[in-house]
Amino acid sequence: MNESMQRMDFEEGIKSLTGAYKEATDVLIMQDPLANQRVDELLRIWWDVLSEDFQFADLFVTTVLSDEQSVSDHRTAVDQLAQAIREFNSANIDVWSGVLLGTLQAYLKKVRKRAVERAAKVMGSESQANTNYAQAQLEWRTVNLLLQRMEGLELAHRLRVATRLAEEAVRDAQKAADDARNAAGFSAGSKLTAQFDDLALKEGAAAKKYRFWTVVTVIAAVVSSYFLGPGENAQTGHAVFRIALLAGMLGLATYLGRQAAHHRTLSAWAGTIKVQLLTFDGYLAPVNDESLRDQMRVAFAARVFGSSPENKDEPSPTLSSPVSELVAQFARGGQGTKL
C-alpha cells in the first residue's frame, strides 16, 4: 500500500524541528545569525500553512505527498535538519531548509492552481453568489501571498548569503594582501640581514688583514732600523737614518693599526645589527602598547638605517639606549606594559 501525507501530517515533523530550534536558538544566534534566520523563517511559514486559517487548502489538494519515496525523502530532510540545528552546522541547515521549503512551495503552487480554477468556475457560473466568489478570491489571494512571501524570503536569503560571501572574499583579499606585504617585508628583511652578515664578514677579514700588516710593519721597522744604515764610519748619519726609518715605518704601522681598529668596529657593528634584525620581532612581541611599539620601531630604524661608525673613537648608535628610555618613560606614565 502506498504511503502518503496530507497537510496536517506534516505537523509532527515541524514540531520536532521547533523543539530542536528552541534548544539551539541562543547559541545559533551568536554563532551564525544567518542560519538562525533561515530556520526561523522556515518554521514560521510552515506553521502558517498548518494553521486553521489554511484549512481551505484541504478542499483543493487533499494529498501533499502521494508516494512512498517522497514521504521517505521528506522525513529524512526533517531528521537531517534537526540534527544540523543541534550541531550548529550552517551548511547543512541551509541545504535541508531549502529542501523543506521546496516541498512546501510545490504544495502551495498546486493549491493556488486549484484556487484559481475554482474562482474562475464560480465567476462563470450563472447561479453564482457574490459570497462564493469573494471567498474564492480570498482563498486565492491567501495562497498567492504565501508564495510571494516564500519567494521574497528566498531572495532575501540569497542576498544575505551573497553579502556574506562578498565580505569573506574581501577579508580573504585583505588577508592575501597582508600576507603578500608581510612576505615582501620578510624577504626585504632577509636580504638586509644577509647584507649586514656579509658586511660583518668582509670588515672582519679586512680588520685581520690590516692587523697582520701592522705586526709585519712593526717587525720590519725594528729589523730594518737595526740592519740598515749608511756605514760604520758615519755614526751620526747612521743613527739619524735608523731613527728616520724607524719613525716612518712606525707611522705606517700606526696607520695600519687604525685601519684594523676601524674595520673591526664596523664588523662588530654589522654583526650586532644582524642579530638585532633577527630578534627584534621577538623583543617587540611582549609590548602591548601600539604607540610604544611604533616608537621602538623608529628607534630601531634609526640604528639600522643610520650612519655607520666611522672610527673606533666614535660611539656607535645602540638600540638598547633609546628603547630603554622609551620603556622607562612609559613605565613612569603608569601604563604597566611589561617587556
Gap between the Cα atoms of 12 and 9, Å rounded: 7
* Residue of 7 and 240 predicted with greater confidence: 7
Q: What is the pLDDT of residue 232?
A: 54
The reply to whether 201 falls in a domain is no
81 has a pLDDT exceeding 80: yes
Q: What is the pLDDT of residue 83?
A: 93
pLDDT level of residue 85 (50, 70, 90 thresholds) = very high
Q: What is the domain extent for residue 12?
A: 7-176
* Residue of 122 and 183 predicted with greater confidence: 122
Q: What is the pLDDT of residue 80?
A: 93
Q: What is the pLDDT of residue 323?
A: 44
* Residue of 17 and 269 predicted with greater confidence: 17
pLDDT digits (tens, 9 = 90+) for 155-172: 888 888 888 888 888 888
Q: What is the pLDDT of residue 19?
A: 93
The reply to whether 339 falls in a domain is no
pLDDT level of residue 176 (50, 70, 90 thresholds) = confident
Average pLDDT, the chain: 77
317 has a pLDDT exceeding 50: no
* Residue of 210 and 22 predicted with greater confidence: 22
pLDDT level of residue 238 (50, 70, 90 thresholds) = low
Task: Please state the φ and ψ torsions of residue 5, each to the nearest 5 degrees.
Answer: -135, 130
The reply to whether 288 falls in a domain is no
Q: Cβ distance 47 to 14 under 8 Å? A: yes
HEC string of the chain equals CCCCECHHHHHHHHHHHHHHHHHHHHHHHHHCHHHHHHHHHHHHHHHHHCCHHHCCHHHHCCCCECCHHHHHHHHHHHHHHHHHHHHCCHHHHHHHHHHHHHHHHHHHHHHHHHHHHHHHHHHHCCCCCHHHHHHHHHHHHHHHHHHHHHHHHHHHHHHHHHHHHHHHHHHHHHHHHHHHHHHHHHHHHHHHHHHHHHHHHHHHHHHHHHHHHHHHHHHHHHHHHHHCCCCCCCHHHHHHHHHHHHHHHHHHHHHHHHHHHHHHHHHHHHHHHHHHHHHHHHHHCCCCCHHHHHHHHHHHHHHHHCCCCCCCCCCCCCCHHHHHHHHHHHHHCCCCCCC
pLDDT level of residue 57 (50, 70, 90 thresholds) = confident
Q: What is the pLDDT of residue 292?
A: 79
pLDDT level of residue 47 (50, 70, 90 thresholds) = very high
205 has a pLDDT exceeding 70: yes
- The predicted model scores a pTM of 0.51
* Residue of 138 and 328 predicted with greater confidence: 138
316 has a pLDDT exceeding 70: no
The reply to whether 281 falls in a domain is no
Contacts of 247 (CB under 8 A, 6+ apart): none
The reply to whether 55 falls in a domain is yes
pLDDT digits (tens, 9 = 90+) for 240-291: 667 777 777 778 888 888 888 888 888 887 787 777 777 777 777 777 777 8
The reply to whether 324 falls in a domain is no
pLDDT digits (tens, 9 = 90+) for 99-142: 999 898 898 888 888 888 877 777 665 445 556 777 777 888 88
Gap between the Cα atoms of 240 and 220, Å rounded: 17
Q: What is the pLDDT of residue 241?
A: 67
The reply to whether 214 falls in a domain is no
Number of domains present in the structure of the chain: 1
The reply to whether 106 falls in a domain is yes
